[in-house]
Structures are given as structure tokens and as C-alpha cells.
Amino acid sequence: MSSTSTSSGPRAIPLPDVLAKVEQLRSNLNAVLLGKEPVIEFVLACLLARGHLLFDDLPGLGKTTLAKAIANSLGGRFGRVQCTPDLLPSDITGFNIFNQKNREFEFVPGPVFADILLADEINRTTPRTQSALFEAMAERQVTIDSHSRKLSESFFVIATQNPVESHGAYPLPEAQLDRFTMKLQIGYPDRNSEVDILGANIGSRSFDPIESRAVLAPGELSEIQRQIAGINVARKVREYMVDVARAIRAHREVTLGVSPRGLIIWQSVSQAWACLQGRDFVTPDDVRAVAEPTLGVRIFGEFDSAARIIQAGFDQIAIPT
Amino acid sequence: MRHENDQFALTLFLAVLAAMGTTALRHNAQLYPLLVWIDWLILAGLFAGLHWLDKRLWERQRLLPPESRATLMLGLQPATAWMIAALACLPIAEQFAQRCFGLGDPWEVVALCCLQVASLGIGLVAQTRVAAGTSVLLSSFQLLFVSFAFPAMIIMLLMAIYTLTVLWWLMGNYWGRLQAQLATRTISQMPARAKVLLPVVCGLSLLLLLVSLVAPQRALVVLNGFMPTTGGERWGDEYAQGGVGNGEILTGARDRADTVGPVDTNVYLSSQQPCLYDMISEAYGKPSKHDERRIDVTGDNQAEHQHERLMERTASREFKLQRQGRSRKVDLTERNSTALIFVKGQVPLHLRLETFSGFDGLNWTKPERESFSSAEVGQPAVRVLSPAIRGDKTWIELQGIPAAPYFHGLRQHEAQIINLDSTRVPAPAALQSWYVPLVDKLDFFGMSDDDVLFMPNRERIPVLTTFSLLSQQVNAWELGRADRLSSLSQLGGNLRLPEGRNPAWRELAERWTEGCWTDGERVLRIESQLRQSFSYVDQAVVPAEATSAVDHFLASGKGQDYLFATTAAVLLRELGIPARLVTGLYADQRNYDAKSQQTIFWDDDVHTWLEFSLDGANWLPLEPTPSFGLPPRELTLWQWAQLAFWKSVAWSWRNWYLLVSSGLLAGLLYRFRGEVFDNCGRLSWLVARWLPVDWQLWWCSRWLDCRLWLSGYRRPQTRSYRQWLRSLESALEQETRAACDRVFNALDAMRYDEKWEPHQADRAAIATACQQVFRKFGSSFKSRIPTPQVP
């Protein structure tokens, strides 16, 4: 375990401090989402890797609660979009409105200008609206009437899609799914956690999340993200990742494998994971740990379980020594 | 994809078939067949290496889609081609090495081996059609050449299988085209390919049939000048061992008279000595011309030789036991001795020249002119010779030999007399029949009183006379179960012992044969006891003042071969088994000359042994002298197995304590192998702790791998230590888990942190963690794991 900082920038935060702040963030999130420590770890990794998250889950499992807790912990603004088939792109990005009083066009920012955006049931809105969101996710800016506006530095999207309801849905195509860093499923909590959830909600009529105090100063998250992006990935580990990706591509049940963009995202998440373990270098264990959520969103074919395909890919490549 | 894989598997199969043909040819021609198998082992090892290399280098590239793979293969083909070319030159290098030791193969066989390696190598790595085609071409040529050079049944069988497989392979290669052809035709017609193939196949079969009917001896004609051959009419290769006919007359080739190897050319004799044929026709002087050899067997001077039992002329009638020391045998290449006989056939071989029956304590004498009694008492047995026609040869058989249960089959030797100044024919014991080319008259031969075949009315046996000798093959198992006939006491001469002999001889004989059930067993026991308990010393002689050679030998414990034979003979006679001394020639594998494929009997190969009889008529050799080979006694596989079983039972009975203790030790070692291994690991850590940090970590990880493997929980290469041990967590104590964690962290840093430096690492902490792993990660955890689980 190295005690040095992850990079030698002018405002470099030492790794122990990074870890301490991350620990606070973790405890905040675990406080609102009981019994889901592994999911919280992946969420943190996604956040630190500067990626966007997709929840493919049933309703009422705490996705909104989680998103609000993240926003509160980062001291940022929380935005929410409920995607419906009649949602317009401008409902997401914002629009210019003519102010009668000032006789000028005013820009009304859409929810996309929040720090944390929750896009619920994204597979229910039209592809045009979906693409408006994805453009914002990818470029971190929106262009309205030829005028580009930058989004927040720590812009983080949590999209959800409901696997059960498919009536009138516009399923996300593969190219769009590739823009998400990872796909997670929260799942039902265990019995004890459910009991604790009920206990925590006694005396409260609303399902508002517990107010979490901010643990990161503004701009600190992006600094941490920048440092994490500089974490050392040895050549043999990179080769390992590439070999596994190729093995998955060559799998006979896979029609569309991991793209180079997907590989880059996978590497970023591995770096974030290594940082979460307290290291400033990536090991094959980190690569393996984040493989399923990261690769599961971007491999397509006639298989029932992406985990099986990913495991088959790993089973063909020896651990680098 | 599967079709392609099948095609490539077929290519390899064809290459293997051709390699089998080449191996059969080499096995037949090579002096030491073991070399052929060693070659195969080396080849197998090399190909295993090639296959491993192939997998390692191109495993990842194989994950590419087939189109990209083809492109890549084109780029990698030069490297493979160079590798296979290098491998194909290996047989040449091996040949040079072999020739340094006097062994070797003809160069055609070496060329075949190179082709074999090339076709196998290409077949193994072939991924494109061109490479597969090359491999099949090479293997086809190989098998075709082998079929010309070695037309044996196995080759014919291989050819048949090969032809069918190649046709199948060709069809597979062009299956696409065939299918398209079939699909476009609306009327049912044979495809174009079959129209061509069928008449070709029929024509070839007809040709083969004609040739095999017309010329059965030379069914496959060698195309002169087209197919290279060794031996034959023009050129003799000293390494050509087989594939050419072995003539009855084992003499040299036309242009190279110094070779005595078997060749299928006309005979060439440059000797001035009178030959057998000249003697018959009384034409002395220069030998007759090559194609005018005549044998005058109906001449007038034959009449008095008919139906006559003939007397021999022997040099001596006595064999003294008090002799000078024997000169040491020198190396085959340095000796100045004269070659007496060349023999083809199984060695070691005892060739009988004289036998002695009477023994007075110091000297052996030949038997009187008494007849040999058969099983019938008082009936003189006449050794009657009679002709026996076998094929186109007239053999001469010894009649009147009773059958014995310990004779199984016959063995044949060919003996060519070079320089033997005697009329006695050196022949193995239990001779049944013999054959001399073109000689079928019975009165050329006779049996002497001491039971030796000889040629009467001659000065000596003509030079270069070749005898084919058939003798009975002894079965060791049956011999061990045979008993002597009760009527043998009438055989006076061969049972008589010197008067006033030492009674200790009888005691010794009975003591040595204690526990033996049969006389055959007793005989073999005496032979083995003498071989084990006494030593053969060239210079140990019986002094002049000794009164009994046997007593002197038994007291001193060493002696020459005749003392061994004498002692064995008297001991057998004490047990009531007739025995006689035999002098003659002995040779074993050391006298074998690889170039001529014959064993040479030199004039200092004179040797003394003994013969015994269990029925008074059949005499079997016994070799009691150590460092001389035993006479061949065959065993069938089942008999050998039984013998081995009983020997092992007997040995186990005698050495039960050794068995029990080693079994206990082995059991304990197996039961506590984990603990033993752990303690070895801990001991090794005492040394490893002084190594640099990275070595310590490496050593710890290696030991951990071995430990897991020993527990039946081998870590796959696709799993990291942490992943694999996660499933073991329940079986490990907290302290062990923590130590493992520390070691794995350090290992990860060493392997994956490019900024890691050994001197920066916390050496003490790492050493402590490694030591804990060595100490804690022992066999104790194994008992807690029900079965190894794959995470």
C-alpha cells in the first residue's frame, strides 16, 4: 500500500485523504441504502471514474434515494427527469423563452444542468429525446440555438430502466448503451435490511432520504477524478484486459463485443476500483472485479447471462505474472 | 470451421500413416531397432515443443475471426517454415552422430526421415490449404517410396488405408466444387471427378493384379535409375542392412570383394582354395566360371561312400585339466587372430566341436566306440541321416532323436566356414537338421562317436562352405519341470565318477539343490550357483601337484572355463544326471560385426562348457562360467509372467522385513505427505529469508502453488491467488488470512506497480508475512475443505 499521492499535480490530494473522503461518502450512501455495500462500491467506482450509471431494476428499490444521497454528499444540485413518450429534448436540455418584460430571450436551464441527474425509465422516451441526453452525457455540454453551454464538472447521470414494463418502450440501442459506464441491479435487500428500512421509516411520512452532509468541497470531486485517471496501469495488465476483451469478442454467442471505448471505460473503472482498495496501481483482481457491471452493458448476443460470457472470456486468459 | 478442422486432422493422420511406413522400413533395416524408437521419442518431444510453441505464440491470435487469422498466418508462415526446415535437417545431424559410433542408415532412409519430419511438422501446424496440401504431398511420396523399398504386408495395408484417406481428403478439399456441381445437375449423373477417378483406380488395381500374378517374387519392380537403391548391382553401401535379398551364399559383391554383406548379385569367388563343388567333381585348380558351376553328384567315385557309417579323424582323444594360463582376449579391432567362422543367427552361441565323457579326476577322455543308448536299454541307437525336402532345398535330418517336452520350436543359424582346419562341423547342441547348398548326398556327412557332425574323407571342410543349421529350441519353463528318465543309470560313461573322489561333492550337490523339485531345476540351480559363487580368472590354473582338479577349484573359488565345466559335470553326475565336457567355439554379441550383420568366431574363441541329458539321447548345453552368456532358453510371455510372479513371491518371502518396512515407510510418507512438505517448506524458508525481497515473494508464491496442488486444489492459471483463496477463506484462520493478504499485496505491487522498487519495499514486513504463510498455511486447512470447488 503506497502512502504517496496518486499524481504530482499542483493541487494533488494525498491518497489517504482521498480514501478518507471516499470513506465518508461510502458511509453516507450505505446509510441510505441498507444492505447493498457491493452496489455502493460499484456506484462509487463509477462516480470516481467519471462515468454514468444505468440501473436496470424494478421500481421501489431505492434508486432515487441513492441519487439524492449522492447529490447531497457532493454538495451538488439534484435534477430529475421522468421520461415519458411525449418528453421533448428541450425538456431535458432547457430552452430559450422570450421574456415579455425584458424583451429578450432567457435561457431556462433543463434538469441536465444539475450535478446529479436521475433519468427515470429512460427506455420510455423517444430516441430523439434519448439522444439529447446522451449528447449531454458524452460531451458535457449542450447546444441550444447554436449556443453551447457547459454542464457541471461533476455531471453524473443515473439512468434507470424498468425491465418489466415494455409497453410503448423504446429500448436503448447498443451504441447508446455503450455510453454508460456500467449497468447495475440493486435488487431486493435481504431480510434484516428490509426490517431495518422499515424501522428507519417509522415516524416519517415521506420517503425523503436522510439528509446527508456534504463530504466533498466543490471541485474536489473532479480533482480526485483527475488523479484517479492517472493511476498506474502496467502494460501486462493492459494486455490482459485486451486479451480478455478479444476472447469475449470471439465467443460464439457474442455478436457485438467490447469496443475500444468500452475498453477505455473499463480501464477507468479499474483505476477507480484500485483507488478504492487503497492502491495506486491496478491489478488483475481489480479488472476482474469491475468486469461484470462494466462489460455487461456493452456485449450483445444470443445469451441469457452476460456474466457467463464474461467468465468464459476470463477462463481463457492466464493471469499475467 | 468444423469441416476445416476435420481436414487438418486428416492431413495430420495422413502424415502419421506415412511416418508409420517409414518407421516400419527403418525398423526392418536398422541394426538396433531401439534407435528407431528413441528417434520417435525425440521426434515426439520436438513436436510437442512445436505444438506448445504454436499454442503459446498464436493462441491469442487465434481468437481473431477466420479472415483476420488467414492474413496473420501468412505473416507467420515464414517463421514456421524456417522452424520446420530446421527440424527436417535433424535426421541428417543425427545420422552424422550415429556414424561416429559405427551405426548408420543408408542416405535414402535419411532422406525419408527428413521428409517424414517435414510432413509431420507441416501437418501439425497447417492452417491453410496450401500447407495441408504440401504435407499430403510429402507424406504421399514417403509412403510410395517405402512401398517400393520394403514391400511387406504392413506397408500394403498402410498403402490401402492411405489411399482411401487421401481420396477422402481430396474430396473434402474440393467438396464445395463438388456440391455445386451436384446441385446444378438436373439429371442424375456421376460427378466429373468420380468419372476420372474410377477408371484410374480400376486400371491401377488391374495392373497390380497382373504384376502380382506374373512375377510373385518381384511384385513391385524397381525402376532402374529412377528410384535410388542401395546394394544391388552397382554400389554397396556399408550401412545398407536390409531391403536386399540374402543369398544363401554369403559372399561379396561383384566389384567390392571385401564386403561379405548379403547382396542379391552373382557370386564372385577369387579364392584359390578347392571348394566343395570342385572336390566333388575333382576339378582342382582355378575355380570354374561363374555360370558354369556344376555339381557332379552322380559321379563314379561316389559309390563307395554310400550307406557307410564313417570314421572321423580327430586331433586328440584327451582333454587335460592341467594347462597353461590362457592369453587375454584382446579388443576386436586390435586382435591378430584369424576368423574361423562367420555365423548369422542368434547369439550367444555354443558350437560343439568335441565332447569328452570319461573323467578320472584330472583328465577327460573321449568315449569308446560305444553306441549311444536311447531310452530303450541295451539297444544301440544309430544316428541315421535322412533327406528332408523343404521347398526347393534338400535338408539332411537326424533321425532317431526322441521328442522331449522341453523343446519348443527350432532356430536356424547359417555358418560359413572361413578357416577351420578340421572336418568337424561346428554345430549347436540339439541339432535337428542341416543344409548345404546343392549338396543332398547323405554320405558327405557323418556323426562321430562323440556325437559331432563331421565330413568324412576330407582333409578339412572347404573354405566358404555355408551350413544352414536347424537346432531345437529349449524352453526354460519346461526344462525346469522335466525329470530324468529312470533308466538312465545304464548310461555308464556319462555317469561315471572318478574313484576315491571326495564325498563332499555329493554333499555340495545336494546342498545346492535343496528345495528343487525336479532334475531340470537341479541342473539350472547348479549352473546358477557356479556362476554366482565362483569367479572366472584367466590365469587360475590347476597346479601340477594337485590330485583333484575339482577339489582345487572348489577350494580356490576361481578358475578357467574348463574347471567350471568339470565341476558342474561331476556335480550333475553325483545327482545321477548324465553330463559330458564339450569343447568348441563360443561367441556372443561382442563378436557381432554390424557391417556384415554376422558374428565372427575367432580362433581364440575356443571355449569349454558341458552338456547334460535327461533322456540319454538329447544333449543340452549348460554354461556354468560367469561372464559367458547362457545358452538361449526361451520363455513364452505367459511363462515369463508366471516365472516373474513366482520369483517375486519367493523374493518377497525371503525379504519380508524389507517389504514390510518400506511399505510402512511409504504409507507413512503418503499419509503425512502434507506435513512432510510443510516442514520442507519451512526448512527452505530458513534459506530463502536471506534472499532479496522479490525472490522471497517469488519463492513464497511458488511454495503456495505447490501446497495447493498437493492438497488437490491446484490453482488454475486464469485465477489469481486472491481469487482462488477466496473460496478457502472459511478454512483459514484469521491470522493466516491476514498473512496471505499481506503477501499478496506485496506480490501485486511487485508484479503490477511499475514504480515499485525492491529496496523501497518493507523487507521486514514482507519477510514476516512470508514466514507466517510458511508456518500457518499448512496441511491443517485441507481437512476443512470437503471438495475442491471452482469459484
- Is the Cβ of B5 closer than 8 Å to some Cβ of chain A? no
Interchain contact, B751 vs A316, CB within 8 Å: no
Closest CA of chain A from B37, distance in Å: 36
Question: Out of B64, B719, B752, whose CB is closest to A237?
Answer: B752
Shortest Cα–Cα distance, B681 to chain A (Å): 22
Query: For the segment A141-159, what is each residue's pLDDT rounded down to a tens digit?
Result: 888 888 888 888 888 999 9
Chain B contacts of A273, Cβ < 8 Å?
none
For cell 574347471, what's the residue? Answer: B563
Q: Is A280 an 8 Å CB contact of chain B?
A: yes
Of A249, A283, A315, the CB nearest to B748: A283
* A280 CB neighbour count, 10 Å cutoff: 24
B719 chain-A contacts, CB cut-off 8 A: 319
Question: Which of B1, B752, B756 is best to mutate for the A interface (most A CBs within 10 A)?
Answer: B752
Chain B closest CA to A160's CA: distance in Å? Answer: 31
A to B CB pairs, distance under 8 Å: 62
Q: Sort A10 into a burial class: Cβ within 10 Å, 0-12 / 13-18 / 19+.
A: exposed
Q: Chain B window 57-86: which residues touch A at a Cβ cutoff of 8 Å?
A: 60, 63-65
CB contact under 8 Å between A234 and B718, yes or no, is no
A163 vs A146: CA distance, rounded Å: 37
Tell me whether B3 touches chain A (CB under 8 Å): no
What residues in B contact A316, CB-CB < 8 Å?
A: 63, 718
Interface touch A315/B718, C-beta < 8 Å: yes
pLDDT of B264 reads 42
CB of B272 within 8 Å of any CB in chain A?
A: no
Beta B579-587 vs B606-613: how paired, if at all? antiparallel
Look at residue A31 in the predicted model and tell me its pLDDT: 86
Q: Which residue of B has its CA nearest to A255?
A: B65
Q: How far is A235 from chain B (nearest CA, A)?
A: 8
A308 neighbourhood in chain B, CB within 8 Å: none
Among candidate residues B787, B784, B684, B688, the one with its CA nearest the CA of residue B736: B784
If residue B732 lies in a helix (H) or strand (E), which one and from where to where? none
* Beta carbons of B720 and A315 less than 8 Å apart: no
A250 interface with B at CB cutoff 8 Å = yes
Q: In terms of CA atoms, which chain A residue is nearest residue B755? A: A232
The answer to whether residue A317 neighbours chain B at the CB level (below 8 Å) is: yes
Q: Which residue of A has its CA nearest to B754?
A: A234
Q: Which residues are registered as beta bridge partners of B355?
A: B582
B68 CA to chain A: closest CA distance, Å? 12
Q: Residue A232 is nearest to which of B63, B723, B755, comparing CB atoms?
A: B755
Min Cα separation B60/chain A (Å): 7
Please, are residues B412 and B406 in contact by the beta-carbon 8 Å criterion? no
- Write the pLDDT tens digit of every residue in A212-249: 677 887 678 888 898 899 998 999 999 999 999 999 99
Q: Which domains does chain A have, with CATH numbers?
A: 13-201 (3.40.50.300), 230-321 (1.10.8.80)
The pLDDT score that the predictor gives to residue B612 is 92
CB contact under 8 A, A246 and B60: yes
Of all residues in chain B, the one with the smallest CA distance to A236 is B752
What 8-state DSSP symbol labels residue A167? T
For B659, how many CA atoms within 13 A lie in the half-sphere containing its CB?
A: 9
In whole angstroms, what is the distance from residue A277 CA to residue A290 CA? 12
Closest approach of B748 to chain A, Cα-based (Å): 7
Is A285 in contact with B723 (Cβ distance < 8 A)? Answer: yes
Helix (H) or strand (E) holding A270: helix A260-276
Q: How far apart are CA B719 and CA B791, in angstroms?
A: 9
What length does chain B have? 791
Low-confidence stretches of chain B (pLDDT < 50) are: 1, 185-188, 217-236, 241-315, 327-335, 370-381, 786-789, 791
Q: Given this model, what pLDDT does residue B214 score?
A: 62
User: Would you call A281 an interface residue with chain B, using a CB distance cutoff of 8 Å?
Assistant: yes
- The residues, ordered by sequence, that sit 6+ positions from A178 with a Cβ below 8 Å of its Cβ are A259, A261, A262, A297, A298
Distance CA A144, CA A151 (A): 13
DSSP state of B34: H
Nearest-CA distance B712 → chain A (Å)? 20
ipTM greater than cut 0.85: no
Nearest-CA distance A42 → chain B (Å): 18
Residues B425 and B467: beta-carbon distance below 8 Å: yes
Q: CB contact, 8 Å: A237 with chain B? A: yes
B741 → chain A, closest CA residue? A1
Mutate to test the interface with B, among A283, A290, A292, A308 (most CBs of B within 10 A): A283
Residue B229 near residue B160, CB atoms below 8 Å: no
Interface residue B317 vs chain A (CB under 8 A): no
- Hey, which bits of B630-786 come out as E strands? 633-634
Please, which residues bridge with residue A96 across strands? A107
A281/B718 Cβ within 8 A: no
Enumerate long-range contacts of A21-25, CB under 8 Å, 24 or more apart: A21/A215, A21/A216, A21/A220, A21/A224, A22/A48, A22/A224, A22/A275, A22/A276, A24/A73, A24/A215, A25/A73, A25/A74, A25/A215, A25/A216
Question: Which residues, including other chains, have CB under 8 Å from residue A260's CB and lie 6 or more apart?
Answer: none
CB of A267 within 8 A of CB of A244?
no
Q: Of B57, B704, B718, B790, which to mutate for an interface test with A (greatest number of A Cβ within 10 Å)?
A: B718
> Are A280 and B60 a contacting pair at CB < 8 A?
no
Q: Which long-range contacts (CB under 8 A, 24 or more apart) does A55-58 make?
A: A55/A158, A55/A159, A55/A160, A55/A161, A55/A183, A55/A184, A55/A185, A55/A186, A56/A160, A56/A161, A56/A163, A56/A183, A56/A184, A56/A185, A57/A160, A57/A162, A57/A163, A57/A184, A57/A185, A57/A186, A57/A187, A58/A162, A58/A163, A58/A164
Cβ(B587)–Cβ(B599) below 8 Å: yes
Cβ within 8 Å, pair B63-A283: no
In percent, the amount of chain B with pLDDT more than 90 equals 16
| A277–chain B Cβ distance below 8 A for any pair | no
| Cα distance from N-terminal residue to C-terminal residue, chain A | 19
- ω into A89 cis (within 30 of 0): no
- Asked if residue A241 lies in contact with residue A263, where contact means CB atoms within 8 angstroms, the answer is yes
Contact check, Cβ <8 Å, B751/A247: no
Residue B716, H or E segment: none
pLDDT at B464: 82
Closest of B581, B558, B557 to residue B569, by C-alpha: B581
Residue range A184-199: mean pLDDT, rounded: 88
Question: Model confidence over A56-80: pLDDT tens digits?
Answer: 888 888 888 888 888 888 888 888 9
Instruction: Assess contact for B344 and B597: CB atoms under 8 A.
Output: yes
Only one residue has cell 431494476, namely A57
Distance from CA of A260 to the nearest CA of B (A): 15
Q: Which residue of B has its CA nearest to A250?
A: B63
Shortest distance, CA A53 to any CA of chain B (angstroms): 26
A-chain residues near B745 (CB < 8 A): 1
Q: Please provide residue B432's backbone torsions phi and psi, each rounded to the nearest 5 degrees.
A: -110, -45
Q: Helix (H, G, I), strand (E, B), or coil: what is residue B782?
A: helix
A319/B753 Cβ within 8 A: no
Give every CB contact of residue A151 below 8 A, 6+ residues apart in sequence.
Answer: A112, A113, A136, A140, A141, A142
Chain-chain contact of A318 with B718 (C-beta, under 8 angstroms): yes
Compare CB distances from B718 to A1, A235, A319 and report the shortest one's residue.
A319
Task: Give the closest of A234, A246, A321 to B754, CB-based.
Answer: A234
Across the range A105-134, mean pLDDT stands at: 88
* pTM reported for the whole predicted model: 0.51
| Set of chain A residues whose Cβ sits within 8 Å of the Cβ of B749 | 2, 279, 281
Averaged pLDDT score across all residues of chain A: 85
Cα-trace Rg, chain B: 37
Cα separation, B62 vs B125, in Å, equals 13
In 3D space, the residue among B613, B593, B600 whose CA is nearest the CA of residue B401 turns out to be B613
Per-residue pLDDT at B1:
46
